[in-house]
Protein backbone atom coordinates (compact mmCIF):
# COMPACT_ATOMS: atom_id res chain seq x y z
CA UNK A 1 0.00 0.00 0.00
CA UNK A 2 1.44 3.38 -1.01
CA UNK A 3 2.16 5.94 1.68
CA UNK A 4 -0.26 8.85 2.03
CA UNK A 5 0.67 11.98 0.06
CA UNK A 6 -0.42 14.12 2.99
CA UNK A 7 -0.40 12.87 6.57
CA UNK A 8 -3.08 14.29 8.85
CA UNK A 9 -2.60 13.74 12.60
CA UNK A 10 -3.87 15.13 15.86
CA UNK A 11 -0.83 15.06 18.15
CA UNK A 12 -1.49 16.25 21.65
CA UNK A 13 -3.08 19.71 21.34
CA UNK A 14 -2.01 20.30 17.74
CA UNK A 15 -3.39 19.31 14.36
CA UNK A 16 -0.36 18.40 12.26
CA UNK A 17 -0.33 18.33 8.45
CA UNK A 18 2.73 16.80 6.79
CA UNK A 19 3.02 17.14 3.02
CA UNK A 20 4.50 13.80 2.09
CA UNK A 21 5.71 13.71 -1.50
CA UNK A 22 9.40 14.43 -0.92
CA UNK A 23 10.50 13.02 -4.29
CA UNK A 24 8.18 15.58 -5.95
CA UNK A 25 9.19 18.38 -3.53
CA UNK A 26 5.81 17.90 -1.85
CA UNK A 27 3.91 19.24 -4.85
CA UNK A 28 0.13 19.44 -4.49
CA UNK A 29 -2.60 17.50 -6.22
CA UNK A 30 -6.37 17.67 -5.78
CA UNK A 31 -6.57 14.84 -3.25
CA UNK A 32 -4.03 16.65 -1.05
CA UNK A 33 -5.94 19.93 -1.29
CA UNK A 34 -9.12 18.16 -0.24
CA UNK A 35 -7.46 16.32 2.63
CA UNK A 36 -6.03 19.56 4.05
CA UNK A 37 -9.34 21.39 3.71
CA UNK A 38 -11.24 18.58 5.42
CA UNK A 39 -8.71 18.49 8.28
CA UNK A 40 -9.04 22.23 8.86
CA UNK A 41 -12.82 21.90 8.97
CA UNK A 42 -12.59 19.08 11.49
CA UNK A 43 -10.06 20.80 13.77
CA UNK A 44 -11.97 24.09 13.81
CA UNK A 45 -14.62 22.49 16.02
CA UNK A 46 -12.27 20.19 17.94
CA UNK A 47 -11.45 21.67 21.34
CA UNK A 48 -8.48 19.30 21.60
CA UNK A 49 -6.74 21.05 18.70
CA UNK A 50 -5.44 24.40 19.97
CA UNK A 51 -3.43 25.10 16.83
CA UNK A 52 -2.55 23.71 13.40
CA UNK A 53 0.97 23.07 12.10
CA UNK A 54 1.80 22.41 8.44
CA UNK A 55 5.21 21.18 7.29
CA UNK A 56 6.92 19.36 4.46
CA UNK A 57 8.56 15.92 4.58
CA UNK A 58 12.01 15.09 3.30
CA UNK A 59 14.05 18.12 4.27
CA UNK A 60 14.28 19.67 0.79
CA UNK A 61 10.95 21.44 0.44
CA UNK A 62 7.89 22.69 2.22
CA UNK A 63 5.95 22.62 -1.06
CA UNK A 64 7.14 23.44 -4.58
CA UNK A 65 3.61 24.22 -5.79
CA UNK A 66 1.01 22.38 -7.81
CA UNK A 67 1.79 19.15 -9.63
CA UNK A 68 2.42 20.98 -12.92
CA UNK A 69 3.18 17.84 -14.91
CA UNK A 70 -0.18 16.29 -13.95
CA UNK A 71 -2.08 19.47 -14.80
CA UNK A 72 -0.27 19.69 -18.14
CA UNK A 73 -1.22 16.11 -18.96
CA UNK A 74 -4.87 16.76 -18.09
CA UNK A 75 -4.91 19.71 -20.48
CA UNK A 76 -3.25 17.77 -23.26
CA UNK A 77 -5.89 15.07 -22.81
CA UNK A 78 -8.70 17.62 -23.15
CA UNK A 79 -9.75 17.28 -19.51
CA UNK A 80 -10.10 21.01 -18.80
CA UNK A 81 -12.87 20.55 -16.24
CA UNK A 82 -10.53 18.48 -14.08
CA UNK A 83 -7.81 21.13 -14.36
CA UNK A 84 -10.22 23.82 -13.23
CA UNK A 85 -11.49 21.66 -10.37
CA UNK A 86 -7.99 21.69 -8.91
CA UNK A 87 -7.69 25.47 -9.02
CA UNK A 88 -11.24 26.03 -7.78
CA UNK A 89 -10.55 23.95 -4.68
CA UNK A 90 -6.99 25.19 -4.20
CA UNK A 91 -8.14 28.81 -4.18
CA UNK A 92 -10.94 27.91 -1.77
CA UNK A 93 -8.31 26.37 0.50
CA UNK A 94 -6.19 29.55 0.32
CA UNK A 95 -9.22 31.53 1.49
CA UNK A 96 -9.91 28.97 4.24
CA UNK A 97 -6.37 29.31 5.57
CA UNK A 98 -6.58 33.10 5.54
CA UNK A 99 -9.84 33.04 7.51
CA UNK A 100 -8.92 30.19 9.87
CA UNK A 101 -9.94 31.02 13.44
CA UNK A 102 -7.18 29.05 15.16
CA UNK A 103 -3.42 29.64 14.99
CA UNK A 104 -2.10 28.20 11.71
CA UNK A 105 1.67 27.72 11.80
CA UNK A 106 3.52 27.06 8.53
CA UNK A 107 7.11 25.81 8.77
CA UNK A 108 8.56 27.43 5.64
CA UNK A 109 11.82 25.59 5.10
CA UNK A 110 13.38 24.50 1.83
CA UNK A 111 11.53 25.19 -1.40
CA UNK A 112 8.35 27.27 -1.09
CA UNK A 113 6.97 28.15 -4.50
CA UNK A 114 3.59 28.78 -6.10
CA UNK A 115 1.01 26.66 -4.34
CA UNK A 116 3.42 26.28 -1.42
CA UNK A 117 3.12 30.02 -0.90
CA UNK A 118 -0.65 29.60 -0.88
CA UNK A 119 -0.37 27.07 1.94
CA UNK A 120 1.88 29.30 4.03
CA UNK A 121 1.67 33.03 3.32
CA UNK A 122 -2.05 33.18 4.15
CA UNK A 123 -1.52 31.60 7.57
CA UNK A 124 -1.45 33.49 10.86
CA UNK A 125 2.12 32.37 11.70
CA UNK A 126 4.70 31.97 8.94
CA UNK A 127 7.95 30.57 10.30
CA UNK A 128 11.03 30.79 8.08
CA UNK A 129 13.84 28.28 8.43
CA UNK A 130 17.46 28.57 7.34
CA UNK A 131 16.96 26.78 4.03
CA UNK A 132 13.94 28.77 2.86
CA UNK A 133 13.96 29.17 -0.93
CA UNK A 134 10.89 31.24 -1.81
CA UNK A 135 9.76 32.21 -5.30
CA UNK A 136 6.74 32.88 -7.46
CA UNK A 137 8.27 31.65 -10.75
CA UNK A 138 5.11 31.12 -12.78
CA UNK A 139 5.78 33.62 -15.58
CA UNK A 140 8.69 31.41 -16.62
CA UNK A 141 6.30 28.62 -17.62
CA UNK A 142 3.74 30.82 -19.36
CA UNK A 143 1.54 30.91 -16.26
CA UNK A 144 1.02 33.73 -13.72
CA UNK A 145 1.43 34.32 -9.96
CA UNK A 146 -1.72 32.89 -8.39
CA UNK A 147 -2.87 31.41 -5.03
CA UNK A 148 -3.67 34.95 -3.90
CA UNK A 149 -0.46 36.58 -5.16
CA UNK A 150 -2.65 39.32 -6.66
CA UNK A 151 -3.46 40.15 -3.02
CA UNK A 152 -0.25 39.52 -1.09
CA UNK A 153 2.51 40.58 -3.48
CA UNK A 154 1.29 44.19 -4.01
CA UNK A 155 1.22 44.58 -0.22
CA UNK A 156 4.96 43.99 0.11
CA UNK A 157 7.19 47.04 0.63
CA UNK A 158 7.54 49.34 -2.37
CA UNK A 159 7.52 47.47 -5.67
CA UNK A 160 9.20 44.32 -4.39
CA UNK A 161 6.04 42.31 -5.08
CA UNK A 162 6.12 43.30 -8.75
CA UNK A 163 9.83 42.46 -8.86
CA UNK A 164 9.17 38.96 -7.51
CA UNK A 165 6.16 38.44 -9.78
CA UNK A 166 7.86 39.45 -13.04
CA UNK A 167 11.34 38.04 -12.51
CA UNK A 168 10.48 34.89 -10.55
CA UNK A 169 13.47 35.74 -8.34
CA UNK A 170 14.28 33.35 -5.52
CA UNK A 171 14.74 34.79 -2.05
CA UNK A 172 15.88 33.31 1.23
CA UNK A 173 15.01 33.60 4.88
CA UNK A 174 16.39 37.10 5.41
CA UNK A 175 14.46 38.62 2.52
CA UNK A 176 11.24 36.77 3.38
CA UNK A 177 11.36 38.21 6.91
CA UNK A 178 12.25 41.71 5.71
CA UNK A 179 9.39 41.71 3.20
CA UNK A 180 6.83 40.25 5.61
CA UNK A 181 6.24 37.03 3.70
CA UNK A 182 7.45 35.22 6.82
CA UNK A 183 6.56 36.48 10.28
CA UNK A 184 9.36 34.89 12.32
CA UNK A 185 12.75 33.25 11.90
CA UNK A 186 13.22 30.01 13.76
CA UNK A 187 16.46 28.17 12.93
CA UNK A 188 15.74 24.87 11.20
CA UNK A 189 17.43 22.99 14.03
CA UNK A 190 14.74 24.38 16.39
CA UNK A 191 11.72 23.35 14.31
CA UNK A 192 11.31 20.06 16.18
CA UNK A 193 11.38 21.93 19.49
CA UNK A 194 8.75 24.35 18.22
CA UNK A 195 6.61 21.44 17.08
CA UNK A 196 6.86 19.84 20.54
CA UNK A 197 5.74 23.07 22.18
CA UNK A 198 2.65 23.20 19.97
CA UNK A 199 1.87 19.53 20.60
CA UNK A 200 2.07 20.21 24.33
CA UNK A 201 -0.52 22.96 23.91
CA UNK A 202 1.64 26.03 24.35
CA UNK A 203 0.23 29.24 22.90
CA UNK A 204 1.44 29.45 19.28
CA UNK A 205 2.72 33.02 19.47
CA UNK A 206 4.56 32.31 22.72
CA UNK A 207 6.05 29.09 21.38
CA UNK A 208 7.34 30.81 18.25
CA UNK A 209 8.74 33.71 20.26
CA UNK A 210 10.59 31.28 22.53
CA UNK A 211 12.29 29.56 19.60
CA UNK A 212 12.79 32.53 17.27
CA UNK A 213 16.03 34.39 16.67
CA UNK A 214 16.88 37.73 15.01
CA UNK A 215 16.69 37.32 11.25
CA UNK A 216 19.85 37.62 9.15
CA UNK A 217 20.25 40.96 7.34
CA UNK A 218 18.50 41.30 3.98
CA UNK A 219 20.62 42.01 0.92
CA UNK A 220 17.62 42.82 -1.27
CA UNK A 221 16.82 45.95 0.73
CA UNK A 222 19.85 47.65 -0.78
CA UNK A 223 18.29 47.26 -4.24
CA UNK A 224 15.04 48.98 -3.31
CA UNK A 225 15.74 52.27 -5.14
CA UNK A 226 16.24 50.40 -8.43
CA UNK A 227 13.35 47.98 -7.81
CA UNK A 228 10.89 50.73 -6.92
CA UNK A 229 11.87 52.91 -9.88
CA UNK A 230 11.90 50.07 -12.40
CA UNK A 231 8.76 48.20 -11.37
CA UNK A 232 6.60 51.27 -10.93
CA UNK A 233 6.52 51.54 -14.74
CA UNK A 234 3.11 51.34 -16.38
CA UNK A 235 3.98 48.71 -18.99
CA UNK A 236 6.29 45.73 -19.33
CA UNK A 237 8.13 47.51 -22.16
CA UNK A 238 8.86 50.38 -19.78
CA UNK A 239 10.02 47.99 -17.05
CA UNK A 240 12.43 46.40 -19.52
CA UNK A 241 13.66 49.79 -20.72
CA UNK A 242 14.34 50.98 -17.17
CA UNK A 243 16.20 47.78 -16.32
CA UNK A 244 18.28 48.08 -19.47
CA UNK A 245 19.18 51.71 -18.82
CA UNK A 246 20.33 51.30 -15.21
CA UNK A 247 23.70 49.71 -15.87
CA UNK A 248 24.18 47.99 -12.51
CA UNK A 249 24.92 44.29 -12.20
CA UNK A 250 21.63 43.76 -10.36
CA UNK A 251 19.72 45.55 -13.13
CA UNK A 252 21.46 43.48 -15.79
CA UNK A 253 20.50 40.28 -13.96
CA UNK A 254 16.93 41.55 -13.66
CA UNK A 255 16.79 42.37 -17.38
CA UNK A 256 18.12 38.94 -18.33
CA UNK A 257 15.44 37.30 -16.19
CA UNK A 258 12.65 39.38 -17.71
CA UNK A 259 13.68 38.60 -21.28
CA UNK A 260 13.34 34.85 -20.69
CA UNK A 261 9.71 35.06 -19.60
CA UNK A 262 6.45 34.79 -21.55
CA UNK A 263 5.55 38.30 -22.75
CA UNK A 264 1.87 37.58 -22.15
CA UNK A 265 2.53 36.28 -18.64
CA UNK A 266 4.64 39.35 -17.83
CA UNK A 267 1.81 41.65 -18.88
CA UNK A 268 -0.75 39.69 -16.87
CA UNK A 269 1.49 39.72 -13.79
CA UNK A 270 2.15 43.45 -14.04
CA UNK A 271 -1.59 44.13 -14.27
CA UNK A 272 -2.15 41.95 -11.18
CA UNK A 273 0.40 43.98 -9.26
CA UNK A 274 -1.19 47.25 -10.37
CA UNK A 275 -4.71 46.38 -9.24
CA UNK A 276 -4.13 44.01 -6.33
CA UNK A 277 -3.52 46.50 -3.53
CA UNK A 278 -7.12 47.66 -3.84
CA UNK A 279 -8.61 44.16 -3.74
CA UNK A 280 -9.59 41.88 -0.90
CA UNK A 281 -8.34 38.31 -0.99
CA UNK A 282 -11.64 36.85 -2.24
CA UNK A 283 -11.82 39.22 -5.20
CA UNK A 284 -8.15 38.63 -5.97
CA UNK A 285 -8.71 34.87 -6.04
CA UNK A 286 -11.80 35.33 -8.20
CA UNK A 287 -9.76 37.32 -10.71
CA UNK A 288 -7.05 34.68 -10.66
CA UNK A 289 -9.63 32.02 -11.43
CA UNK A 290 -10.72 34.05 -14.46
CA UNK A 291 -7.12 34.22 -15.62
CA UNK A 292 -6.41 30.53 -15.03
CA UNK A 293 -9.54 29.45 -16.91
CA UNK A 294 -8.16 31.24 -19.97
CA UNK A 295 -4.44 30.69 -19.60
CA UNK A 296 -4.99 26.92 -19.47
CA UNK A 297 -6.29 27.26 -23.04
CA UNK A 298 -3.27 29.28 -24.20
CA UNK A 299 -0.17 28.35 -26.16
CA UNK A 300 2.29 29.76 -23.65
CA UNK A 301 1.32 27.60 -20.68
CA UNK A 302 1.79 24.33 -22.56
CA UNK A 303 4.90 25.60 -24.31
CA UNK A 304 6.42 26.79 -21.06
CA UNK A 305 5.75 23.53 -19.23
CA UNK A 306 7.04 21.55 -22.22
CA UNK A 307 10.28 23.51 -22.35
CA UNK A 308 10.89 23.62 -18.62
CA UNK A 309 9.47 20.40 -17.16
CA UNK A 310 8.61 17.89 -19.89
CA UNK A 311 11.34 18.08 -22.54
CA UNK A 312 13.61 20.44 -20.58
CA UNK A 313 15.14 22.09 -23.63
CA UNK A 314 14.58 25.50 -21.99
CA UNK A 315 13.71 27.03 -25.35
CA UNK A 316 10.03 27.96 -25.14
CA UNK A 317 8.41 29.38 -28.25
CA UNK A 318 6.21 32.12 -26.80
CA UNK A 319 3.27 33.46 -28.80
CA UNK A 320 3.50 36.34 -29.22
CA UNK A 321 7.27 36.31 -28.78
CA UNK A 322 7.76 40.08 -28.49
CA UNK A 323 6.75 42.19 -25.51
CA UNK A 324 5.40 44.98 -27.71
CA UNK A 325 3.18 42.51 -29.57
CA UNK A 326 0.99 41.95 -26.50
CA UNK A 327 -1.95 44.36 -26.65
CA UNK A 328 -3.97 45.87 -23.84
CA UNK A 329 -7.07 44.19 -25.28
CA UNK A 330 -5.30 40.82 -25.14
CA UNK A 331 -4.65 41.26 -21.43
CA UNK A 332 -8.10 42.67 -20.65
CA UNK A 333 -9.62 39.46 -21.98
CA UNK A 334 -7.86 37.40 -19.29
CA UNK A 335 -9.39 39.53 -16.51
CA UNK A 336 -12.97 39.64 -17.81
CA UNK A 337 -15.75 38.00 -15.77
CA UNK A 338 -16.62 34.39 -16.48
CA UNK A 339 -20.13 32.98 -16.90
CA UNK A 340 -19.17 30.59 -14.07
CA UNK A 341 -17.02 32.80 -11.83
CA UNK A 342 -15.34 31.34 -8.79
CA UNK A 343 -17.69 30.56 -5.93
CA UNK A 344 -15.79 29.36 -2.91
CA UNK A 345 -16.43 25.72 -2.23
CA UNK A 346 -16.06 23.11 0.45
CA UNK A 347 -14.06 20.00 -0.40
CA UNK A 348 -15.71 17.16 -2.25
CA UNK A 349 -16.07 14.07 -0.08
CA UNK A 350 -13.55 11.38 -0.96
The per-residue pLDDT for range 216-249, each reduced to its tens digit, is 999 999 999 999 999 999 999 999 999 999 999 9
Q: Around Cβ 249, how many Cβ atoms within 10 Å?
A: 8
Give the residue-averaged pLDDT of 315-344.
94
**What is the average pLDDT across 312-336?**
96
Give the pLDDT confidence of 123-151 residue by residue, as tens digits. Answer: 999 999 999 999 999 999 999 999 999 99
- Whole-number Å distance between alpha carbons of 271 and 39: 35
Instruction: State the Cα angle at 196 between 192 and 201, rounded to 5°.
Output: 150
Tell me, what's the pLDDT at 345? 66
Exposed / middle / buried, residue 344 (Cβ in 10 Å: 0-12, 13-18, 19+): middle
Calculate ∠ Cα 239-321-240, nearest 5°. 10
- At 270 the pLDDT is 98
**Class of the CATH-defined domain 6-335:** alpha beta
Residue 141's contacts (CB-CB under 8 Å, 6 or more residues apart) are 68, 262, 301, 304, 305, 308, 309
Summarised one tens digit per residue, pLDDT across range 57-85 is: 999 999 999 999 999 999 999 999 999 99
Angle at CA 215, nearest 5°, toward 212 and 216? Answer: 145
* Cα–Cα dist 115/134, whole Å: 11
- Give mean pLDDT, residues 7-23: 98
In this prediction, residue 350 carries a pLDDT of 44
| Residue 1 banded pLDDT, cuts 50, 70, 90 | very low
CA 148 to chain centroid? 8
Question: How many CA atoms does the CB half-sphere of 204 hold within 13 Å?
Answer: 23
How many CB atoms neighbour CB 44 within 10 A?
Answer: 14
The predicted model gives 90-108 an average pLDDT of 98
What pLDDT sits at residue 341? 84
Q: Residues 261, 166: contact at Cβ < 8 Å?
A: yes
Residue percentage of the chain with pLDDT more than 90 = 95
pLDDT of residue 336: 97
Strand pairing class (6-11; 14-19): antiparallel
Q: What is the pLDDT of residues 178-207, one digit of tens each?
A: 999 999 999 999 999 999 999 999 999 999
Tabulate helix, strand, coil % of the chain (nearest 5). 50, 10, 35
Domain ranges of the chain: 6-335
Q: What is the pLDDT of residue 2?
A: 60
What pLDDT is recorded for position 340?
84
pLDDT at position 318 is 98
* Whole-angstrom distance, CA of residue 114 vs CA of residue 107: 16
Distances (CA, A) of 4 to 19, 35, 45, 68, 82: 9, 10, 24, 19, 21
SS3 346: coil
Amino acid sequence: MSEAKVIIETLGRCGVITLNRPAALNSLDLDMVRAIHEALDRWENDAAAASVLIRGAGGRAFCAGADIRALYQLGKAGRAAEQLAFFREEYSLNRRINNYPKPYVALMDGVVMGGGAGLSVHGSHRVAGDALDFAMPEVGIGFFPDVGATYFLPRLPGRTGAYLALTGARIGCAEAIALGLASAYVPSARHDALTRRLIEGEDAAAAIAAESRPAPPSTLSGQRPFIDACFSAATVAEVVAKAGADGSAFADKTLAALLLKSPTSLAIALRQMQIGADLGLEEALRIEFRIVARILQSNDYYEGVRATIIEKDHRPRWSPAAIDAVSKADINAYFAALPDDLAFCTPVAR
